[in-house]
Amino acid sequence: MADIDPTDSDLHGLDPAAAREVVAGYLQSAQELRRQLQSARDQEALWRKRTVLARQAGDIELAQRAEARLQEARAVCEKLTAEEFELSVVIDRLKAELKRLQAAPALSGIDAELLLADLRSISGEPDPTADALKELQTEQELRELKRRLQGES
């Protein structure tokens, strides 16, 4: 597992569904990392036992080789433990960010121009487009009324 840069990941600009997928990917990575760490811990325990066994048997050279392998296993455990911690920090931050994202009002599907026109009509600001359409509609209704009156006479 590569080193994780906690500043490298964020959910900015993602919708809640995509953000959940990102968090799920990090959770899967954490699960795989835990499996690797458990395997490394098993290897460390195995080489610890082998080191003890070689010493008990009085085979110093074998004990030294086993001790070297034990140190390698410990180094792997330490590295994976550090990665696990870094990943947990990132995941905690992403989960908090996801909660904020899910709590934010959904703005997708809102027509900004229509909303602006509604706000202008409520606030009393003139809306040139709406005014022009109203004038056009009034003229059309007037023409229709004149046509009907001419048809009755």
Helix axes 128-152, 112-123, angle to 10 degrees: 80
Q: For the chain, which residues make up each domain, given as ranges?
A: 16-103, 112-152
Query: How many angstroms separate the Cα of 91 from the Cα of each of 29, 37, 52, 94, 141?
Result: 10, 18, 39, 5, 63
- Write the pLDDT tens digit of every residue in 8-48: 567 877 888 888 899 999 999 999 999 999 999 999 999 99
CB 39 within 8 A of CB 80: no
| pLDDT exceeds cutoff 70 at 93 | yes
User: Average model confidence (pLDDT) for the chain?
Assistant: 86
CA 29: distance to chain centroid? 14
- Report pLDDT for 15: 81
Residue 107: its pLDDT value, please? Answer: 57
pTM above 0.95, yes or no: no
